[in-house]
Structure 1
């Protein structure tokens, strides 16, 4: 029986597979005894809070335990005030010293992860994205050849007072190609949330880039709908270069249509480090909806993969693709 939460994608193939495995080929060097091969990765990525780990290393209790002890015997009317006071005390006396100590440790022992900054323009906050990049490190665990499932974790050390610290503790691998992974970090999904960002991870080079969200003025839950899959990544052969591609369906009278918006991000070149937006017409069926005269596009892709060297494939039994050249 196939595991839930994994997606299978063959590199360079347009074949549709059950959406439960993610195969990444030729991006890892195994020990000599194992040879080389494909790796099966879980889509779901957990966070590891480095500040919380250091607090535990020092033998101190976590915040929730401290608050629980402080609330013992406190009447209901006073519990909120006591909780707020205890949280502030914990941050100043426990978390802040741990954060400072972790910063000093990282200065003494720099990370092996190469962090590639991108220029942040428009209405995006460059400070927040800079903090996101500085305080995140991917780590592959349980590395083995398929069919053993390996995992990716993100070790985070974001500033305590940064909005990044309020993120749900997880991320999601949307797609893979060659040695590249594309992730949604935090609760972000186009049209649904304004919190979070894209992460491009080059496993061979051990490098990451934080990519800003789609422009808020171009996408909202009222203007667009998802096509069923997430962002796709294309690793350009022979170069440390990649494309991110996000395809959304435009809404007409509140319903998905066969008109779409294609967003492209390239890591290098004249149009690098910006979302390029193109309006497209998709060869998709339009069907009338029950109890309304408004027609709607009912197509939903199961998988997204690479088609040839410059195309992206959205998978269904009668699927189609677009060429990015």
Structure 2
């Protein structure tokens, strides 16, 4: 079995590759595990439209019918958005889903892998995974961080999900040499809120300058990706004290119910949505759309 048997491009993405047009990879767990139907499919379509409006080609990635699909059509998006059995795929899960024909949605780590295989250098998501709170006893650290250390793809995000230990997440990224670049402010973004209170490594606002940084990094043979931290728009951000209260309650309830591993993040996001009366979902949608515009600009700058 070869890579050609395992990966299939949509006509739009295949044409963009031939024409050397800018392409932006998009994950699919936000569709299957991050939002309820029908907001998940609607948001996916709107994010793709934003990428196109800003001069790039969107490539939503998922595993369907035993293949990595780079670019999904309307029917495939709908199928993924409605499927209750979609696997949440990270690095370790990709071979299983491909070998068994299971439907699977790609996490940050798996999307980075697939993007690299497809020759795509920019990936847009909501927030990266990271070091979970209490990791000193649970050892619960997202595979996203190791993927950032090894796979040369720039990840545009609204920082790391604020359900995590953000200080330890940044320490982990520093240890593995992953640069954290902030856009529009000096500090690392905190997903639902704009400012984590923690400094990013570098502030680079201009997409052309971001592209120069990445080209220099990769030309030096410094492997791995980079985090492009793009804060949620101010009008869509949640008050820090309010969201921190929801997170604390959701974490306590997850612990009481014995929820662990890859089930933790979907549970917490859904519970926070309920506690906030849907406000957190609106913030999540706004930040992904904002990231799509920034990611498209970076993808265009990288092909110049």
> Higher relative contact order at CA 8 Å, sep ≥6: structure 1 or structure 2?
2
More helix by share: 2
Which TM-score applies when normalising by structure 2?
0.27
More strand by share: 1
Bigger Rg over Cα: 1
